Structure 1
């Protein structure tokens, strides 16, 4: 039969503690057991005065932020509301039923006035990672890396167009040095490279000028930031570099790899997607003796013409052979680091495949080859090894899973903060929370 539950329970009085109300298997208990937050005190001690009234405990402020990111709460204002009524959160902070939770603006004010000039957030991330290392949860053999975009807090239709300097390319000085060495060997004068980068017209947001205009196809256009991230086999985030959204992955990759390998020198291989498959990045990996794990990339260019891979390079004679077995000899080395190989026009004009080979008016075919092209070819050979196939297959279980969890569960799909500095702090704290969650659950 149908029954009606009485509402008398609302007025019930009981003698009970917070300790009894929080379930024994609650995530917040596991986190409290996994890490001792007292390491924060010496980091921020110098920012507090010995005079004046007592402040809010800095550990409490940091714990409140971790509650927000661990449970994907959309804002600090909403986080305080949740803590006010959630006994597990109060237990984690050490607040009883009657204590007033700090105002939602408290952390923001402390960040601007006190924590901004410290290394607090970097130290929190490093300390959690250190605990995972001590617990032997991190594997230091393969680095999985990629980047993801974080939508900026800026209207994509509200911008100006400005001429800005193009960022220096990664490994540019080493490339320029090798270009000039090659030219001297060939008996040509070395190039004088410009000291200032070129200017390019870009869209600059009026709301958040430090974000970058990101374009991916015709539909996805927005101002965004990029989180260039590396993780291990188990999904522990090892480091992150946040940049404007219009910076290419391969430009940031050397700095990210160098930073992570300094902390984890046992890493011997780097797995990344096709965006990192450039001659410059592979040369960087070769010089650091790191094994590249990169995917197949489809040939680019006009599909109605013969593909570049149909021209075979002869290393001994330093020339290319076309499908008709005619040589293309070395001509010059460009400022961009490409060696040009040209055919003989008087031979090509009678070639049966001329229309499929080139549209040049003088009937001359030009094939370019980067001075570090050998590294690209070696990476292509390694792609067929069992190690590379198995390692690359794990990308979807590692770095791709990290980004999926960060966006779906921890609020990293977009940011409510503006300026690169604040977005970088926001991103690093999310990843620190994710590492802490994994450390707590596995411990």
Structure 2
């Protein structure tokens, strides 16, 4: 349904995906914080670890150095505890600044200048925006290769995100505040 609406809006000329705005919004879950429980979840390595290792290896090779020996098998990394609730096990605990701690989800969205949502990814509320960026951005540029500028707030200002956007021939811009 979502794709059909976007196709219709695109056919009507309503979409302007040259510049997109990416941000996340928390959505409170229907779960009681007092009923939280710890759940073991596997620890995940950074998404860009393989990209980084390939880049380091290429650089070492260009300098005539031996390849980086990172071992044949990645070391076993233990899991970590995550708060969740049996009523809504997919949510996560959200707490930021003055906000009250609660179970929530986060909708990471990419919109055009007219406010049309071009892509959306939903994660537990404790997933940082920079972690969800790859999923949103990857789906976005697959559907809208004409994207030229990505506007995102400071949460997305990481070396990995900057490199990814710039290597794709796009511009990453931070919005300015209005007085």
Q: TM-score with structure 2 length normalisation? A: 0.85
Asked if structure 2 preserves the Cα contact closer than 8 Å seen for 1:159 and 1:205, the reply is yes
2:81 aligns with one of 201, 210, 213: 201
Instruction: Give the drift of 1:201.
Output: 2.2
Asked if structure 2 preserves the Cα contact closer than 8 Å seen for 1:170 and 1:280, the reply is no
1:222 aligns with one of 97, 102, 110: 102
1:292/1:201 Cα in 2 relative to 1: closer, same or farther (>3 Å)?
Answer: same
List per-residue Cα deviations over 1:248-296 (Å, max 9, x = no partner): 11122122112111221111110000000001111111221111113xx
Aligned to 2:148: 268
Aligned to 1:134: 11
Greater share of strand residues, 1 or 2?
A: 2
Q: In structure 1, what is the Cα distance between the partners aligned to 2:31 and 2:15?
A: 37
Aligned to 1:213: 93
Asked if structure 2 preserves the Cα contact closer than 8 Å seen for 1:170 and 1:252, the reply is no
1:144/1:195 Cα in 2 relative to 1: closer, same or farther (>3 Å)?
Answer: farther
Aligned to 2:138: 258
Aligned to 2:70: 191
Instruction: Give the drift of 1:196.
Output: 5.2
2:121 aligns with one of 241, 253, 277: 241
Instruction: Give the drift of 1:226.
Output: 0.8
Q: In structure 1, what is the Cα distance between the partners aligned to 2:60 and 2:129?
A: 30
- Name the structure, 1 or 2, with higher relative contact order (CA <8 Å, separation 6+): 2
Asked if structure 2 preserves the Cα contact closer than 8 Å seen for 1:183 and 1:190, the reply is no
- Higher deviation after alignment, 194-203 or 264-273: 194-203
List per-residue Cα deviations over 1:153-176 (Å, max 9, x = no partner): 110111122332233423221012
1:234/1:219 Cα in 2 relative to 1: closer, same or farther (>3 Å)?
Answer: closer
Instruction: Give the drift of 1:179.
Output: 3.2
Of structures 1 and 2, the larger Rg is shown by 1
Greater share of helix residues, 1 or 2?
A: 1
Aligned to 1:166: 43
Structure 1 unaligned regions, length at least 5: 1-123, 295-391, 397-443
Structure 2 unaligned regions, length at least 5: none
List per-residue Cα deviations over 1:77-112 (Å, max 9, x = no partner): xxxxxxxxxxxxxxxxxxxxxxxxxxxxxxxxxxxx
* Aligned residue-pair number: 175
Q: In structure 2, what is the Cα distance between the partners aligned to 1:171 and 1:225?
A: 24
1:219/1:257 Cα in 2 relative to 1: closer, same or farther (>3 Å)?
Answer: closer
Alignment root-mean-square deviation, CA: 2.4
Q: In structure 2, what is the Cα distance between the partners aligned to 1:226 and 1:208?
A: 14
Instruction: Give the drift of 1:239.
Output: 1.2
